[in-house]
Amino acid sequence: MADLQARIEELWENRDGLSPADSEAVDAVHEAISLLDTGMARVAEVTPRGKVVVHQWLKQAILLLFRLSDMETMEVGPFEYADKVPLKSDFMTQGVRVVPGASARWGAFLDRGVILMPSYVNIGARVGSQTMVDTWATVGSCAQIGANVHLSGGVGIGGVLEPPQAAPVIIEDDCMIGSRCMVVNGARVRQGAVLGAGAILTPSIPVFDAETGEELERGVVPPWCVAVQSWVQKDYPGGTFGAPCILVIQRLEEGVRHGGSRLNEILREQNVSV
């Protein structure tokens, strides 16, 4: 993989002169995207010490893919699209359920047991096993979603391709992201956390502990807690206004999921089709 990384980095340095006719460059980039597509490589990962490591070269490969691909007409029955990147396919062998209306692009990895309700998963994203991506949820490019996560209806997980060193959104294992939440720009939801419906999380949003009043790390929902959208008073030259924040309203026992976040699990345990 080190050779491929060096090749992609070299192509990236010389990207201005590249075109879809450069077949060697196309082959190298396709090899890198196939690694993402099959889950053998990932754009970002969390180290055992909790640090996010971004593998820039894989993001560079995605950006190069757009430069090295021509637009093609794609037809699906009466539907027609025009794009450079094919859709992901062969879901049955991957053990993934994809409900009509859902689409995932080549270069996104969906682990076994993932369910895509009519939703969208972009290139470079990774969705962990048994995770449910509910109706109208969108998983942006390179976002890293853990295992046993529920992304509820209409959730917007932001994508980030450029700059290549920028950290993507990370939702860790066992999380529940409530309906219509927006998590963007490299914000992070730690393991087992529940984000109440309608919350907006970016790296600039302050996070407070409701019990102690302490301000926690911005843009990060701590592990095993319930956090909701709230407002904090802020003084501006023109007066005092409410500014958005995230409030941790409950700490959960480590390893024990919040009741409301187990819906997906319960349905699966009872063998109810979800």
Ligand X SMILES: CC(C)(COP(=O)(O)OP(=O)(O)OC[C@H]1O[C@@H](n2cnc3c(N)ncnc32)[C@H](O)[C@@H]1OP(=O)(O)O)[C@@H](O)C(=O)NCCC(=O)NCCS
Q: Please report, as ranges, the residues that interact with ligand X according to CB under 6 A.
A: 134, 152-153, 178-179, 194, 196-198, 226, 228-229, 249, 260
37 vs 134 by CB, closer to ligand X: 134
* CB 180, min distance to ligand X, A: 8
* CB 177, min distance to ligand X, A: 8
* CB 266, min distance to ligand X, A: 12
Q: Is 18 exposed, middle or buried (0-12, 13-18, 19+ CB in 10 A)?
A: middle
| Calpha distance 122→159 (Å, rounded) | 8
54 vs 227 by CB, closer to ligand X: 227
In the complex, residue closest to ligand X by CB: 196
Residue 55 near residue 12, CB atoms below 8 Å: no
| Calpha distance 134→169 (Å, rounded) | 18
39 vs 244 by CB, closer to ligand X: 244
94 vs 264 by CB, closer to ligand X: 264
* CB 125, min distance to ligand X, A: 20
94 vs 229 by CB, closer to ligand X: 229
Tokens 């500014």, located at residue: 243
Q: Annotate 177-222 with DSSP letters as a single string.
A: E-TT-EE-TT-EE-TT-EE-TT-EE-TTS-EEETTT--EE-TTEEP
| Calpha distance 153→268 (Å, rounded) | 18
| Calpha distance 44→145 (Å, rounded) | 11
